[in-house]
Amino acid sequence: MSVFTTKLAASSEASRSLLCVGIDPDPRLAPPSVVAQPDWVARFALGIVEATADLACAFKPNLAFFEALGDDGYRGLRALMAALPKDRLSIGDAKRGDVGSTAAAYARALFEVWGFDAATVNPYLGWDSLEPFLGYQDRGTIVLCKTSNPGSGDLQDLRTTWEGRDMPLYQVVARQAVGRNGARNLGLVVGATYPEQLAHVRELAPDMPILVPGVGTQQGDLEAAVAAGLDVQGGGILVNASRSVIYASTGDDWQAVARAAALDLRDRVNAMRQAERAEERVGATG
């Protein structure tokens, strides 16, 4: 195991959770009483962490939302990174991907300046654009594979021929990621909105962590996604929820309601894990 996968496993065990809470500060959705305060981005982000830290194994700030808020966003992100529990995995959701020195600068920014444990990246420019990230062998590089958005199939489902076999492009990405995972610091992104494709990716990448967005506002099938994505140890997935948790309430009870939403999701996932294990035991003895 790598530093990345070891920390992920330890965090998941300590929290008894596969939940990843995405932090996307948006003044249009955040509680007005919070937005009206100075440094509201930091107050909001830290409030979500305070409410959910014992329920989540990972936190995933989406850099676009912080960057869109300018100086307020950057101050908020610095405060968030300083306050995140050190035993929880931090994922910089940046979806970076570029050539040469630019990719190296992105990797330095995410891993050295901001200090994330892992980052999401876009493989469209090819593997040389991801090498600067993979060079940080103590950090995780999580590759977009089959994303949760409705238009993902425009490119990701295109049929292509790779090593003499016909397959969709997202499966080529998964197969190539497995082949380049010598340091065990690679992961994949597959949306809960595509459980059948998630099952295919798990089959191709049986030991690789999979970040699974799309179970909340995007209405992905949680039960189908968990069943499709779990590895043989009953883990291996990070079920991400952002808006459905952090904006569960815009009233003064926003922290309590966010906690309740996170607790419900964590417990539902754990119940599904237990059910899957029970089915496996029945199958093994049947």
Catalytic positions, written as ranges: 95
Closest CA relative to residue 157, chosen from 167, 148, 149: 167
234 secondary structure, DSSP code: S
Is the alpha carbon torsion for 125, 126, 128, 134 positive or negative? Answer: positive
Alpha-carbon gap, residue 173 to 274, rounded angstroms: 30
**Which tokens go with 232?**
């043989």
**Which tokens go with 276?**
């899957």
> Helix, strand, coil proportions of the chain in percent (round to 5)?
50, 15, 30
Q: How many CA atoms lie within 13 A of 148 on its CB side?
A: 22
Partners of residue 20 on adjacent β-strands: 58, 240
Closest CA relative to residue 197, chosen from 186, 207, 205: 205
Alpha-carbon gap, residue 275 to 204, rounded angstroms: 23
